[in-house]
Amino acid sequence: RTIENYLTILEQTYVCYPLPSFSTNVGNELKKSRKYFFYDLGIRNAIVKNFESDLEKRKDKGVLYESLVFLELLQKVSPNTSIYFWRTRQKAEVDFVKVTNRQPIPIEVKSGLSDLLVPDGIKTFLNRYPDAKVGYVVNNRQRGEVIYKKAAVKFIHFSDIDTL
């Protein structure tokens, strides 16, 4: 209860943003869970006491890359667009689901990707939501496109996240 109160205060003072979970199937997916992101990564770095400027040396680089993508997506929220994350009880997960005009787009963030392999979370999402036509894997090494089922999974570099 105390943690919920603190998170509410952080949310109301625009320190953290609560990201709800995406679900159209209440039985299989976690409905009430949330992920929290800091609006200012400097505050996050102060809390974890790590200001290392070389991202490759940081143990939390995956979280920082994910936060970067979140902040970019947040700038593009409009009346016909929402952002969620997705996780099932079986632990399948996608970092973000951008829903535009009721069309879900799974987005996975990977800080160390060596091949154009579709991540398991996106595969599970596309299997469960076959109407999704595209998915993204944001990473720092690979560019390209792979077709999985009937969806195009696009691998884009972090420098291109403004295209999401």
CA 68 and chain centroid, separation? 10
- Alpha-carbon distance of 71 to 54, in angstroms, equals 20
Confidence band for 58, pLDDT divided at 50, 70 and 90: very high
pLDDT (0 to 100) of residue 23: 81
The model's pTM: 0.91
- Asked whether the predicted pLDDT for residue 25 surpasses 70, the reply is no
Q: Stretch 39-53: mean pLDDT, rounded?
A: 94
* pLDDT > 90 in the chain, percent: 78
What secondary structure letter does DSSP report for 32?
S
- Alpha-carbon distance of 151 to 134, in angstroms, equals 5
Confidence band for 26, pLDDT divided at 50, 70 and 90: low
Confidence band for 114, pLDDT divided at 50, 70 and 90: confident
Q: Which helix (H) or strand (E) holds 127?
A: helix 120-128
Residue 89 three-state SS = coil
pLDDT (0 to 100) of residue 89: 86
Q: Which helix (H) or strand (E) holds 93?
A: strand 93-100
Contact 126, 148 (CB under 8 A): yes
Long-range contacts of 81-84 (CB under 8 A, 24+ apart): 83/19, 84/19, 84/20, 84/21, 84/22
Contact 152, 122 (CB under 8 A): no
Confidence band for 8, pLDDT divided at 50, 70 and 90: very high
- Asked whether the predicted pLDDT for residue 32 surpasses 80, the reply is no
